[in-house]
Amino acid sequence: MKKGIKILVIIISILIVWYLFFKPSDYTINFSSKSLPGTINQSLKLWGKGIKNSTSPKQEDPLNILQTFTFSDSVHQYNWTIIPINDSLSKVSVGVKDDNLMHSIVNKLKVPFSKTDFVKRSEKTVYDFMTVLKDHVDNFKVTIIGEEEMPAKLLAYVTITKEQVHKAQGMMNNTNFISDVLLKNKIEFDGLPMVEVVSWDKKNDSLTYNFGFPVKKMDTLPDLGEIKFKNLESKKGIKAIFNGNYISSDRAWYALINHAKKNNIKVTETPLEVFHNNPQMGGDTRKWVTEVYLPIDSSPSID
């Protein structure tokens, strides 16, 4: 009997020590979102960059993001963990911890019994992001079409390297430049503006892509300096239609990657986009159309 009590006391003591000193968070908040992990990842990073009392979110991997908030009396660490549930639902678990050990211990002692200022502040911060995320998800739509031939075109383009969230900015900065040079040189257009992703560094949120316009075939390609020409070959891909602001068209990339994994389709993560609407004309962005393709990798598997 005494031995059993001793063991129980030891177990309780270990649990108390773990809870107070080693538990990774002082308070955990969970919520669900009708979106894929990639959408949450990019939305969180963009939201975090706009908050004055926060450092830019730091990605450990696509499903785990760390963020530091500085308040008047303390520094709080937010550990955002994204958990995919299915094709249209993800769960987010946010562990919040005070950097100060004594504050952290006090938080852990109080949290189970009262709604402290620490709890209120943590819930408000997470709720602010939830509101932004829901508004974003409500303003775009991705429809998976399936396998299709990717368009074969002669592309007049410039190569751009940007953060992923600034892809559309790179397009806007170069649209008039490219179109003016083509018109000046009497080169005929042959379709809608396109983006061909050359390199996608997910860890560092960096993109290198070719942006430009399809043009009519020519016997001799002129030297236009920064503007180059490239033949886009027809090949198999999986296609989606994205309705929404072009800033967020990469949400379709994540949907296509998810579709490919689910259906055991080997793909190359170098999307091709075709833009149907001119952002300068304004209008309801939810009606803007982008065709998005992900090339199917036809190279033989190496066992």
pLDDT digits 0-9 by tens, 184-195: 999 999 999 999
pLDDT score of 278: 85
> Which domains can be identified in the chain, with CATH numbers?
23-137 (3.30.530.20), 142-295 (3.20.80.10)
The pLDDT value recorded for residue 16 is 66
pLDDT at 130 over 70: yes
* Confidence label for 103 from pLDDT (cuts 50, 70 and 90): confident
Tens digit of each residue's pLDDT (9 = 90 or more) over 209-228? 999 999 999 989 999 999 99
| Model pLDDT, residue 131 | 96
Gap between the terminal Cα atoms of the chain: 60
Whether 262 contacts 255, CB under 8 Å: no
pLDDT confidence band for 204 (50 / 70 / 90)? confident
| pLDDT value at 303 more than 60 | no
Structure token pair of residue 99 = 């950097």
Q: How far apart are CA 183 and CA 174, in angstroms?
A: 14
91 phi, psi to nearest 5 deg: -110, 145
